[in-house]
């Protein structure tokens, strides 16, 4: 069974940093576009960013609110995805979902979701 397990969430002060990890099992994330999605308390889903496969140059794309502050990376040898979050703001408070698009196209959607890890930015 395909599974994604996030870790690293917690409480951080505004301006601080946090790194989230996501371990994949049941499939190789080397063959997937890996995507972070977040959901603020009581709000809808928000795409954070994506990292393409190694053969695609591990190209990254980010949503405007996090561009320049968040960095997504992957270690295919460890089957693990990361997001380094710097200069955190209170509006970054959310549940962060690690997700995978194993079809690596724009047509088929995000087919694997983690259970989420909570990030709270507060003084």
Partner 1 sequence: QSVLTQPPSASGTPGQRVTISCSGSSSNIGSYTVNWYQQLPGTAPKLLIYSDNRRPSGVPDRFSGSKSGTSASLAISGLQSEDEADYYCAAWDDSLNGPGYVFGTGTEVTVL
Residues engaged in binding partner 1 (CB under 8 A): 35, 37, 44-47, 50, 61-64, 67, 97, 106-111, 113-116
Structure-block tokens of residue 100? 């995978």
Which residue, among 50, 56, 55, has the nearest Cα to 33 in the 3D structure? 50
Q: From CA 39, how far away is CA 63, in angstroms rounded? A: 14
- The minimum distance between CB 49 and partner 1, in angstroms, equals 8
Question: Which one, 64 or 77, has the nearer CB to partner 1?
Answer: 64
Question: Which one, 16 or 65, has the nearer CB to partner 1?
Answer: 65
Question: Which one, 15 or 111, has the nearer CB to partner 1?
Answer: 111
- The minimum distance between CB 103 and partner 1, in angstroms, equals 8
Structure-block tokens of residue 59? 């190209």
Question: Which one, 85 or 112, has the nearer CB to partner 1?
Answer: 112
E-assigned strand segments in 10-69: 10-12, 18-25, 33-39, 45-51, 60-62
- The minimum distance between CB 77 and partner 1, in angstroms, equals 26
Half-sphere exposure of 41 (CA within 13 A, CB side): 7
Place of tokens 């995978």: 100
- The minimum distance between CB 57 and partner 1, in angstroms, equals 15
């Amino acid at each position: 069974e395909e599974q994604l397990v996030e870790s690293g969430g917690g409480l951080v002060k505004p301006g601080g940093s946090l790194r989230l990890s996501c371990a994949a099992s049941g499939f190789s994330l080397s063959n997937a576009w890996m995507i972070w999605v977040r959901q603020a308390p009581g709000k809808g889903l928000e795409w954070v960013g994506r990292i393409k496969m190694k053969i695609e140059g591990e190209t990254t794309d980010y949503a405007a609110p996090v561009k320049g502050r968040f960095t997504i990376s992957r270690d295919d040898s460890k089957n693990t995805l990361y997001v380094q979050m710097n200069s955190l703001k209170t509006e970054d408070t959310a549940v962060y979902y690690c997700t995978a698009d194993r079809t690596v196209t724009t047509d088929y959607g995000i087919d694997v979701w983690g259970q989420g890890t909570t990030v709270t930015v507060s003084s």
